Amino acid sequence: AQSVTQPDIHITVSEGASLELRCNYSYGATPYLFWYVQSPGQGLQLLLKYFSGDTLVQGIKGFEAEFKRSQSSFNLRKPSVHWSDAAEYFCAVGALGQGGKLIFGQGTELSVKP
């Protein structure tokens, strides 16, 4: 069955510290992978996406993610977190032939300490 797992429900980091949010997927086809961010009362905003090619992808707001096929992972990273990064982060997977339908993880809530 297709699934996305985000093992960490809630993470707290200090402002300026580095961040890594984990995402593992189970998908039969070659996956397309996405990270979205959702702030309270806001819609989902795309941070970055991987379709093919270079496995290290750069996104907006200083985020990056690395696709590791052997580990079925697509972890999100940021070298220095800002207070404004506090939000809910969702990993999602889709595939060619699925029409853009996405399977989402349950999300990781990020809190940032001053």
Partner 1 sequence: GAGVSQTPSNKVTEKGKYVELRCDPISGHTALYWYRQSLGQGPEFLIYFQGTGAADDSGLPNDRFFAVRPEGSVSTLKIQRTERGDSAVYLCASSPSGGGTEAFFGQGTRLTVV
Among 26, 42, 80, 111, binds partner 1 (CB under 8 A): 42
Stretch touching partner 1 by CB under 8 A, among 12-20, 59-67, 70-78, 86-94: 86-94
H-type alpha helices, 1-93: none
Residue 41 contacts partner 1 per CB under 8 A: yes
CA distances from 36 to 5, 8, 12, 22, 70 (A): 14, 16, 18, 13, 23
Among 51, 55, 56, 69, binds partner 1 (CB under 8 A): 51
Output the smallest distance, CB 112 to partner 1, in A.
20
Task: Please tell me what DSSP assigns to residue 30.
Answer: P
Among 21, 47, 87, 103, binds partner 1 (CB under 8 A): 103
At residue 83, the 3 state secondary structure works out as helix
Calpha distance 81→113 (Å, rounded): 10
Which residues bind to partner 1, rule: CB under 8 A?
Answer: 4, 6, 32, 36, 41-46, 49, 51, 90, 92, 94, 96, 98-107
